[in-house]
Amino acid sequence: MSDQPITPILDRVHTPDDMKAMSDAELCQLANELRAETISAVSETGGHLGAGLGVVEMTVALHAVFDAPKDKIIWDVSHQCYPHKILTGRRDRIRTLRTEGGLSGFTKRSESPYDPFGAAHSSTSISAALGFAVARDLGGEGGDAIAIIGDGAMSAGMAYEAMNNAGHLGKRLIVILNDNEMSIAPPTGAMSSYLSRLYAGEPFQELKAAAKGAVSLLPEPFREGARRAKDMVKHMTVGGTLFEELGFSYLGPIDGHDMEQLLSVLRTVKERATGPILIHAITKKGKGYAPAEAASDKGHATAKFDVLTGKQKKAPSNAPSYTSVFAETLVNLAADDPKICAITAAMPDGTGLNKFMERYASRCFDVGIAEQHAVTFSAGLAAGGMRPFCALYSTFLQRGYDQVVHDVAIQRLPVRFAIDRAGLVGADGATHAGSFDVAYLANLPGFVVMAAADEAELVRMVATAAAHDEGPIAFRFPRGEGVGVEMPENPALLEIGKGRMIREGSQVAILSFGTRLQEAEKACEALTAKGITPSLADARFAKPLDRDLILKLAATHDALITVEEGAVGGFGSHVGQLLAEEGVFDQGLKYRSMVLPDIFIDQASPSAMYDVAGMNAAHIEAKVLDVLSVATLEKRA
């Protein structure tokens, strides 16, 4: 049992309604207790700590002033939603965060009426909030629509698409820009510099004088309210021209940890806002917990940890992570090839490109949370004669898909896609699953699509990609550690479109694409003990397929089973298409394709998620036995 903090005021809060009668002083105390509870809970679960600590006061103020769930409070990314979940009736389950059957680590409509919109991918909150605002004004349910979006999330084009439309529609819409000068890493881009100028021109703490004068500059609806609030709102200046040009009133910057300011500004806005308004709040990621504040990522993502020391409790690693193998291989290749460059969308550490950045800063680009731009920027680099490696998580590549088709594939530009977090990812759950990239890439003419079966294969695939100038090429690999195989010193290039045999057997052939190969090997071991000796091959390529290997396996076995960490429409579908085109089914081949099921799988350990998906060794074994029994029955008939 954890030594949970003593929280007399928080104990009184079962829903935000219980906060409405609290004094401002009690709300301040509530924030302190909420921060302690958040730290305690995340110390037991691990997760996104820093962002939530940065919005504790904001969360209390929002739920004290507005009336959720009638008012729609929409958190961008929503990795900062843990304090929100504690205040909205889920404190009793907060220590199940990100676990099987537990609370999601992000907001989720099905989890609570206080989560009006799910998130996890960034920069969606303003669009969603505008949708609620328009629905409200069309006679739908709901009150205020409030989006809380971070400075990092403001680097994505979608946020501007939404503001552009909101400014045009002129609907009452409240956007709080939670500016902590952090993305996962320090933010990049001109927008980040712009925001800093809004409060760095003068020392933020000495804006009182400017605030008095600024009040008269505020748009009329706020002038009176601001006058009344000005002695409460210690720091206010009119800036934010960019936002005002987009049709928003700009209010700020305010101190996002000063409860008095927050309450007075939110009360004023609630009372007086007539159109879209952006409140610029300055916060500190990791606020109030020294180990988080001191961490380079401000406690963005933590394992379970000791509250007193902040020491994280990480499981010992038995093999290098796939991410580190990719990054180190690319760094080595770049030493001999000045054309190799690397692009990340605000995930330098997550993709391992921080290592590349250290060595080749002039050839490494963190474009911010801007996957669409990352893809087409990479296409431009390729068209300009470079060898760009665009490193994106599978799930985040989804955001740049039209750019993949329109700017890369149709022009057959040699962009290399390093697709990390392929397959099921564990605690981040369904929103982060890398389920669809094979399906949406292997159908594109001219694309080469590979999946590494282990870390040694990944090394070979990175080298093969670097040498492939004929067109776009993608290689995918999962979250987590490799299997501990020996790493190739001088990786031989793979022959494009060629797989490899792992074990020769009979009756049934298993054709694996990606790291399910290990599970397939376990299944073969188990089957061998039952006198069944399947053949096993590693396809390596979903495009182009190894036709010779597939047709040979089909011709020499009664049954062929494919297995991949992807949804239908990927590797197995293409194999089936080939077999059909070649008339192989006419000769009676039994074909089974093991793919992720047609559901979104909630967070659990990756192994447990693959159990739900029916894709672990036992399931592969069962599939072989099933198809053999069918074949046997048919022979008897």
505 near ligand DXP, rule: CB under 6 A: no
The residue nearest ligand DXP at its CB is 350
The residue nearest Mg ion at its CB is 150
Among 37, 57, 144, 151, binds ligand TPP (CB under 6 A): 151
What value, to the nearest 5°, has the Cα angle with vertex 397 and ends 392 and 403?
115
What value, to the nearest 5°, has the Cα angle with vertex 370 and ends 415 and 346?
90
User: Measured from the CB atom, is 122 or 237 closer to ligand DXP?
Assistant: 122
Dig out the tokens for 267 from the structure.
Answer: 């009360």
79 near ligand DXP, rule: CB under 6 A: yes
Considering only residues 348 through 367, tell me which ones interact with ligand DXP, judged by CB under 6 A: 350
122 near ligand TPP, rule: CB under 6 A: yes
Phi, psi (degrees; rounded to nearest 5) at 390? -90, 105
345 near ligand DXP, rule: CB under 6 A: no
Applying CB under 6 A, what is the total number of residues that bind ligand DXP?
A: 11
403 near ligand TPP, rule: CB under 6 A: no
Q: Is 79 annotated as a binding residue?
A: yes
Alpha-carbon distance values, 491 to 41, 245, 541 (Å): 45, 54, 17
d(CA 34, CA 442): 48
User: Measured from the CB atom, is 322 or 571 closer to ligand TPP?
Assistant: 322
Query: Exposed, middle or buried: residue 454 (CB in 10 Å: 0-12, 13-18, 19+)?
Result: buried
**Least distance (Å) from ligand DXP to the CB of residue 301?**
5
User: Measured from the CB atom, is 122 or 593 closer to ligand TPP?
Assistant: 122
Indicate the SS3 state at residue 312.
strand
User: Measured from the CB atom, is 148 or 211 closer to ligand TPP?
Assistant: 148
Among 166, 184, 397, 456, binds ligand TPP (CB under 6 A): 184
CB 195 within 8 A of CB 154: yes
285 is catalytic: yes
Q: Give kind and range of the element (H or E) at residue 566.
A: strand 559-567
d(CA 522, CA 56): 48
Among 16, 46, 150, 572, binds Mg ion (CB under 5 A): 150
d(CA 81, CA 178): 13
Selected range binding ligand TPP among 75-83, 447-455, 511-519, 617-625, rule: CB under 6 A: 75-83
373 near ligand TPP, rule: CB under 6 A: no
Applying CB under 5 A, what is the total number of residues that bind Mg ion?
A: 5
285 near ligand TPP, rule: CB under 6 A: yes
**Least distance (Å) from ligand TPP to the CB of residue 178?**
6
The beta strand positions in 11-140, using DSSP E, are: 72-75
Dig out the tokens for 276 from the structure.
Answer: 């879209």
**Least distance (Å) from ligand DXP to the CB of residue 105?**
8
182 near ligand TPP, rule: CB under 6 A: yes
Considering only residues 533 through 592, tell me which ones interact with ligand DXP, judged by CB under 6 A: none
d(CA 350, CA 391): 10
Indicate the SS3 state at residue 300.
coil
151 near Mg ion, rule: CB under 5 A: yes
C-alpha atoms less than 13 angstroms from C-alpha of 379 in its C-beta half-sphere: 19
Among 64, 346, 444, 575, binds ligand TPP (CB under 6 A): 346
Strands 448-451 vs 541-543: parallel, antiparallel or unpaired: antiparallel
Considering only residues 179 through 218, tell me which ones interact with Mg ion, judged by CB under 5 A: 180, 182
User: Measured from the CB atom, is 283 or 395 closer to ligand DXP?
Assistant: 395
What value, to the nearest 5°, has the Cα angle with vertex 484 and ends 315 and 425?
55
399 is catalytic: yes
- For 604-632, letters b (16+ CB in 10 Å) and e give bebebbbbbbebbbebbbebbbebbeebe
Work out what residue 369 binds among ligand TPP, ligand DXP, Mg ion, none; the CB cut-off runs from 5 to 8 Å by kind: ligand TPP
User: Measured from the CB atom, is 227 or 284 closer to Mg ion?
Assistant: 284
d(CA 311, CA 35): 18
Work out what residue 346 binds among ligand TPP, ligand DXP, Mg ion, none; the CB cut-off runs from 5 to 8 Å by kind: ligand TPP
Selected range binding ligand TPP among 9-17, 169-177, 178-186, 259-267, rule: CB under 6 A: 178-186
d(CA 571, CA 435): 12
Q: Which residues touch 302 (CB under 8 Å, ≥6 apart)? A: 42, 46, 47, 48, 49, 50, 292, 312
Q: Is 152 annotated as a binding residue?
A: yes
Residues with a known catalytic role:
285, 371, 399
Site residues (vs ligand DXP, CB under 6 A) = 48, 77, 79, 120, 184, 301, 350, 421, 425, 428, 479
Site residues (vs ligand TPP, CB under 6 A) = 51, 54, 77, 79-80, 120-122, 150-153, 178, 180, 182-184, 285, 300, 345-347, 369, 371, 396, 399
From the annotation, which residues make up the binding site for thiamine diphosphate? 79, 120-122, 152-153, 180, 289, 371
